[in-house]
Amino acid sequence: MFGQFLVDLPGAVWQRIGMKKILSTIVVGASLATSRVFADDLPTCFVAPFSGDSTVIANWQPALGEGLGEMLTTELGKINKFQMLEVNQLGDLKNEIAMGQDGWVDQTQKVDKGGFAAADFMFTAKVTRFGNKETHIGLGGFVPGNFGNLGVHQTTADVRIDWRLVDAANRKIVKTGSSSASQKGGGFDTGVNVGGRGGNIGFGNSEFMDSALGKATEKTLQQIIAEVQGATLPQSGRVKQKSAQAATAAAATDAIKHAPGKVLAVASKDTIIVSVGSNQGFKDGDKVNIYQTNDVKDDKGNVVFTDEKLIGEVTLSGVKEDRSRASYTGDVAIQQGWTVKAK
């Protein structure tokens, strides 16, 4: 549709807009369309709030771990490798569902329980260095007299994050790494500026991002993103489980469908009642084979062997759960007790 619109543009409009701009629009539109098509096919992933070593990192707080986790969630969502899942606002999502169940939301629009997506992978990390180091360079050798204590303060921020990408279904570690970065510049006091639900650690805080600590953090996260983006992901345990379950269910359905049935009654060639139906997966119009059966009995009348001879096929109609009507176009007189099987 969009391509046809471009074809139909008058020549003057093409000249005014410019070929370059139009081609750029096509490329961007195609990229957006592709991202929409393939987004649902990506493996799902969530980032757990980062943990930290309080014996090594001064002023460590859980809120700081939430902030770092949210920063990484943002960055992972940009590389088109995962469908990211929300983890920090689960309470609000559950409240939305509860509002529908309590009748506060139009029942035709409410969100039902059971619709959350499951995770294929979990990203978890531990921060082993995160903070500023202050250094003082004295200038006493250059300034005489009472100015001997004059000096220059420098701040060096140092960040190190040890991380793992884990298969959520089986706890197997898919990839692990350690990223670190240092940056000189202005300080940022995590003991004062971090608080509550991610606090002020994040891309939205210009004070943090302009500081040496913020820049070192961003460098570290970009290192992580580069490693994760280049990693070849195995099929997740959750997908393998679902595939195995589907294969098992399909095999069971196939086994049920191929279980033999019997001819229960014969009224005419167009009204043959057989003991197979929708419970075995059959529907109107399906064709099944019909076999003439000859039983071999012992001297006590017990059937010890049954010989089957393929006669032809019958077409099912009026399919019910445990039986169906069938029609036959051949010349053999169908008999009660003969066998029918899926083709």
Of residues 62 and 334, the one with the higher pLDDT is: 334
**Are both 177 and 322 inside the same structural domain?**
no
Q: Which of 240, 267, 289 is the last residue of a domain?
A: 240
Element spanning 20, H or E: helix 19-38
pLDDT for 195 equals: 65
Region 325-340 average pLDDT: 93
> 153 - beta bridge partners?
136
Contact 182, 158 (CB under 8 A): yes
The C-alpha atoms of residue 196 and residue 213 are separated, in whole angstroms, by 19
Q: Which two tokens stand for residue 322?
A: 């445990």
Instruction: Return mean pLDDT, the chain.
Output: 82
Residues 6 or more apart whose CB falls under 8 angstroms from that of 303 comprise 295, 296, 297
Q: Is residue 245 part of a domain?
A: no
Strand-strand pairing, 51-52 and 121-138: parallel
- Residue 233: half-sphere exposure toward Cβ, Cα within 13 Å: 19
pLDDT for 153 equals: 58
Dihedral angle of Cα 237, 242, 246, 251, to the nearest 10 degrees: 40
Region 18-38 average pLDDT: 43
Q: What is the pTM of this model?
A: 0.64
State CA 171 to chain mean position distance: 16
Indicate the DSSP class of residue 337.
T
Of residues 267 and 107, the one with the higher pLDDT is: 267
| CATH code for the domain in which residue 326 is found | 2.40.10
CA angle at 321 for the pair 319 and 325, rounded to the nearest 5°: 30
Region 129-143 average pLDDT: 64
pLDDT at 110 over 60: yes
**Are both 186 and 105 inside the same structural domain?**
yes
pLDDT at 91 over 90: no
Could you list the residue range(s) of the whole structural domain that residue 210 is in? 42-240
Q: How many domains does the chain have?
A: 3
Q: Which of 181, 216, 240 is the last residue of a domain?
A: 240
The C-alpha atoms of residue 127 and residue 60 are separated, in whole angstroms, by 10
**Are both 142 and 276 inside the same structural domain?**
no
**Are both 99 and 235 inside the same structural domain?**
yes
pLDDT for 136 equals: 54
pLDDT at 19 over 50: no
Element spanning 219, H or E: helix 212-230
Choice among 38-42, 207-211, 214-218, 286-290 with the minimum mean pLDDT: 38-42
Q: Which of 240, 265, 290 is the last residue of a domain?
A: 240
